[in-house]
Amino acid sequence: MKQVSTIGLDLAKHVFQVHGADNEGSALFNRKLRRTDVLRFFERLPPCLVGMEACGGAHHWAREIAQLGHDVRLIPPAYVKPFVKRGKTDAADAEAISEAVIRKTMRFVPIKTAEQQAHAMVLKTRALLVQQRTQSVNALRAHLAELGIIAAGGLPNVAALMTVVRDAEDTRLPTAARFALTAIVDQIDALAIQIGVLERAIVTESKRDESMRRLTTIPGVGAVTAATIKALVPDPGGFKSGRHFAAWVGLTPRPHSSGGKERLGRISKMGNPELRVLLVLGATAVLRIARNDEKARPWLKALLARRPFKVAAVALANKMARITWALLNKGGFYNPPEPSPEVAAI
């Protein structure tokens, strides 16, 4: 009987699909496994190459199966789809994973440790609470606007609206409205407290971790952005250059070329959207300061002069991503370039 050399494992909540192939790529079996039988199944197999799609729970199963002596690799789901022959079934997906994992040019996702996943959970929890606070603030604004009570935009100006709700002597609010909106106001306060606790923990971790301290020296990169990079990019050495890293984040134009004609469109928006948003927001803050600062770096002034503000922000975010890759791989701190003698003399 031929020996199994490659396994394609299609993950699920309760019933998994496993496809086995030999050295020549011939299928040996394609069967279902209950969740409780997965590890026992791999314990009986000789060391082999195991492929899985990078999805929820994939990193956990990758660590568990790797401890049994197998070579586990995670594949982005988009790279597996072209290998599905026809239809959408668990058996077809497992077979496609088995074929994709042996490709020489296939790109894989680094397996995260439990600690890296835990740090990412802190960031995701903060993002969830911020989203819930935004929803509550929008609801408060909308309800009060129906009664003709408004406030200027921005989170700091919400305090005036919250004061109106809690002021029992304000006759503009009916009793039933004050009763309902008090629950929203209390929720906003509770969410603000929880967000503050998480942000303080993130800042404390950024001061303790050496890599995060070096990242925060980049203009526009704060503690939250540094923590996000640290959690979501476990292996920066997997990118050939800073340009490859910026392209993975999605800060480069999407190419659409044919017949020798090169066409570049909008940014590709690949990679992780949270990291891309943080880099663009950081670049936006830097440009807003540079726009009104006479001592700002001349190249920033020139960029703003010849490009729209948002285009300049994406371009600066691209540069920040490349600087980030350089610091993570080569070490050191960010040192802003010295102005040329001509510029310094002005």
CB distance 246 to 252 below 8 Å? yes
- Residues 118, 19 share a domain: no
User: Is residue 310 a part of any domain in this protein?
Assistant: yes
Q: Which residues, 6 or more positions from 251, have their beta carbon under 8 angstroms from its beta carbon?
A: 267, 276, 279, 280, 314, 317, 318, 321
The DSSP element (H or E) to which 51 belongs, if any, is strand 49-53
| φ, ψ dihedrals at 116, nearest 5° | -65, -40
| Three state DSSP letters for 156-185 | HHHHHHHHHHHCCCCCCCCHHHHHHHHHHH
User: Is residue 106 a part of any domain in this protein?
Assistant: no
CB distance 280 to 225 below 8 Å? no
pLDDT at 147: 94
Phi-psi region of 170 (alpha: psi -120 to 50; beta: other; left: phi over 0): beta
- Residues 275, 238 share a domain: yes
The domain boundary residue, chosen from 153, 174, 208: 208
- Residues 201, 167 share a domain: yes
- Strand, helix or coil at 218? coil
- Residues 222, 332 share a domain: yes
Tell me the residue type at 262. E
pLDDT at 344: 38
- Residues 232, 128 share a domain: no
User: Is residue 218 a part of any domain in this protein?
Assistant: yes
User: Is residue 135 a part of any domain in this protein?
Assistant: yes
Alpha-carbon distance 148 to 178, whole Å?
A: 14
User: Is residue 346 a part of any domain in this protein?
Assistant: no
Q: Which residues of the chain have pLDDT under 50?
A: 340-346
Alpha-carbon distance 316 to 136, whole Å?
A: 33
The domain boundary residue, chosen from 100, 132, 161: 100
Q: Which two tokens stand for residue 173?
A: 């609010």
User: Is residue 87 a part of any domain in this protein?
Assistant: yes
77 C-beta neighbours (distance < 10 Å), count: 13
- Residues 288, 199 share a domain: no
Whether the CA torsion 12, 15, 20, 26 is positive or negative: it is: negative
Alpha-carbon distance 312 to 283, whole Å?
A: 9
Alpha-carbon distance 8 to 147, whole Å?
A: 60
- Residues 264, 153 share a domain: no
CB distance 97 to 80 below 8 Å? yes
Domains identified in the chain, total number: 3
336 C-beta neighbours (distance < 10 Å), count: 9
The DSSP element (H or E) to which 33 belongs, if any, is strand 27-34
- Residues 279, 200 share a domain: no
User: Is residue 58 a part of any domain in this protein?
Assistant: yes
Q: Which two tokens stand for residue 332?
A: 């050191």
- Residues 232, 334 share a domain: yes
- Residues 332, 228 share a domain: yes
User: Is residue 107 a part of any domain in this protein?
Assistant: no
pLDDT at 152: 92
The domain boundary residue, chosen from 71, 100, 129: 100
For residue 165, give its domain range.
Answer: 114-208
Alpha-carbon distance 244 to 232, whole Å?
A: 16
- Residues 327, 237 share a domain: yes
pLDDT at 339: 53
Q: Which two tokens stand for residue 96?
A: 């496609």
Biggest CA pair distance of the chain: 86
CATH code where residue 53 lies: 3.30.420.40
Helix count and strand count (H, E) for the chain: 14, 7
- Residues 330, 257 share a domain: yes
pTM, entire model: 0.83
CB distance 150 to 226 below 8 Å? no
Q: Which two tokens stand for residue 32?
A: 């279902």
